[in-house]
Amino acid sequence: MTEGERSARLVREIFLAGFMSGLPAENVLWATHRLGRNMADVHLRAGDVLYRQSDPTAAHYFVVYGEMKLTAEGVPPWTLGERSLIGTIDLTLERARSRTATATRATHLLEMPAGDWLDMLEDNFELMLRGVEGIAAGVHELRKGLGRTTSAESPGARPFERRLPDGPLGLVDRVMLLRGVPLFSGGEVQALLDLAAHAVEIEVDAGGVITPRGEPNDAMFVTISGTVTASTSTTVPAETVGPGRMVFGSCAATSKEIGCEAHATTRSRLLRLVREDYFDAMEEHFGLARSSMKALAAEREILANEVARRAGPTGS
């Protein structure tokens, strides 16, 4: 390693350690060392294009300084500055570039190859978990800002069409129900079987509280029948969740207390999953973790577009 490479690597590690501040120290140490080794510096001038729409997604980028504008026809532009990640949604959703990324001024980025990023997440579950929880909390904040409780347009949130028995569900029905939930839809069958086996089916009378506001939030609920009224904040209108839907949507992935409240609007049946079981299943099955990341990334993209649309033509 030459002197120049050593200092460049050190600068990368400092940037990454700062970027990951808030994570446990031992994870930051491990991740910065690993990421710093495989990253490459990219310097752009104003007007330079980093990648174009429909290019294959081989990497994502950390913005060290400068500003990037991400544009595509029919959607509002995103303007991202220092300490942002560029291209991560495409990478997470395993698709070609959905926008063209152009530097609006002199910009320094760190390029992280897609494979290395996914390898790192697979190798360090704590980091993966913090990532899932962090994005879920971020989505929750975006929703609050937009005055929403759940995101009906999430691409994974297909309408639930399967006919479920009127009586208690069997294991297969439980798994099929879970497969319709965006957070779980791409998970391994084994992971869903584990989750379904550990889940408990509950019946709640109309008006019965499912998640009291301000109390520890240690479970996730999927509606089997009936309707549930969910609200994520006292300032946001409550929404009604029907069969096949996760109460609070993908935000239910976070264990952080986010001030949610849910109660049955009509007599309802729900599948209750202990969040620790979900985390355990993710630890054992990377596919489930990837599925959760995808669901959250998809929703984040929708919300970010809405935020940008509301911010007007200058972007956010």
Partner 1 sequence: MARWITRFFDLRGGEARPVIQSFLVLFLLIGAHTTLETARDALFLTKLAPKELNLVYIALAGLSFVAAALSTRLALRFGRRNALIGTLGIAAVATALLYGMTPTPRVVMTLYVFSGLVGAVLSPQFWLLAAQMFTSSQGRRLFGPIASGGVAGGVAGATTAAVLVAHHPVTSLLLVAAFAFIATALLLTTLALPVDDDDLSTRFDLDDKAPAQAPSLALSQQPFVWRVALLVALSTAAVLTVDYLFKSTAALKIPPAQLGEFFARYYAVMNGVSLVVQLLVAGRVVRRLGVAGATGVMPTLLLVGGAASFVTGGALLPVLGMRLVDGGLRHSLNRVATELLYLPMPTKVRERAKGLIDTVLSRSVQAVTAAVLFGLGTMGVLSPRMLAGIVLVLCVSWTAVAAGLRRPYLDLFRRALSGGTLQLGAENTEIDVNAAEALVEAMANPEPTVVIAALDVLEQRDREKLIPALILYHDAEPVLFRALEIFGASPRQDWIPLGERLLSHESEGMRIAAVRALAKHGVALALARATKDASTTVQAYAAFHLALRSEDQELSEHPSLAPMLEERGESGEAKRRVLLTAIADAADPRATSLVLAIARGKGFARSEQNITLLARAMKALHDPRYIPFCVELLATRPAREAIRQALVAMGDAALDALEAATIAPDTERRVRTHIPRTIADFRTQRACDFLMARLDGETDGLVRYKVLRGLGHIVAAADVKVDRKKVEKEARRNLVEHLRVTALRVAMEAGSTANAGSEPALPTEHLLLGLLADKQAQSLERAFRLLKIANRREDIHRVHTAARSNDRRARSNAGEFLDTLLAGAGRRELRELFRLVVDDLDPAARVRRAAPHLGPVPHDRKGALAALMEDRDPGLAKLSRPGLDAPMEVVTS
User: Of 89 and 210, which CB lies nearer to partner 1 in the complex structure?
Assistant: 210
188 binds partner 1 (CB under 8 A): yes
Q: Largest Cα–Cα distance in the chain?
A: 70
Nearest to 74 by CA among 300, 311, 308: 308
User: Of 54 and 309, which CB lies nearer to partner 1 in the complex structure?
Assistant: 54
Q: Mark out the alpha helices in the chain (DSSP H runs).
A: 3-19, 25-38, 88-92, 114-123, 125-146, 171-179, 189-198, 275-284, 286-311
Radius of gyration of the chain (CA): 21
Nearest to 268 by CA among 202, 212, 213, 211: 202
Cβ atoms 142, 300 nearer than 8 A: yes
Cβ atoms 256, 214 nearer than 8 A: no
Nearest to 154 by CA among 291, 262, 5: 291
User: Of 64 and 303, which CB lies nearer to partner 1 in the complex structure?
Assistant: 64
67 binds partner 1 (CB under 8 A): no
Shortest gap between Cβ of 277 and partner 1 (angstroms)?
10
- The residue from 134, 138, 155, 208 that contacts partner 1 (CB under 8 A) is 208
Shortest gap between Cβ of 163 and partner 1 (angstroms)?
11
290 binds partner 1 (CB under 8 A): no
Shortest gap between Cβ of 75 and partner 1 (angstroms)?
28
Planar angle of CA 6, 9, 10, nearest 5 degrees:
85
193 binds partner 1 (CB under 8 A): yes
Nearest to 120 by CA among 40, 27, 186: 27
184 binds partner 1 (CB under 8 A): no
Cβ atoms 199, 272 nearer than 8 A: yes
46 binds partner 1 (CB under 8 A): no
Residue list 95-134, contact with partner 1 (CB under 8 A): 111, 113, 115, 119, 123, 126
Cβ atoms 67, 79 nearer than 8 A: yes
207 binds partner 1 (CB under 8 A): no
Site string for partner 1, 10-29 (x = CB under 8 A): xx-xxxxxxx-x--xxx-xx
54 binds partner 1 (CB under 8 A): no
Return residues touching partner 1 (CB under 8 A): 1, 3-4, 6-7, 9-11, 13-19, 21, 24-26, 28-29, 32-33, 37-38, 40-41, 111, 113, 115, 119, 123, 126, 165, 167-176, 188-190, 193, 200-205, 208, 269, 272, 276, 279-280, 284-285, 287
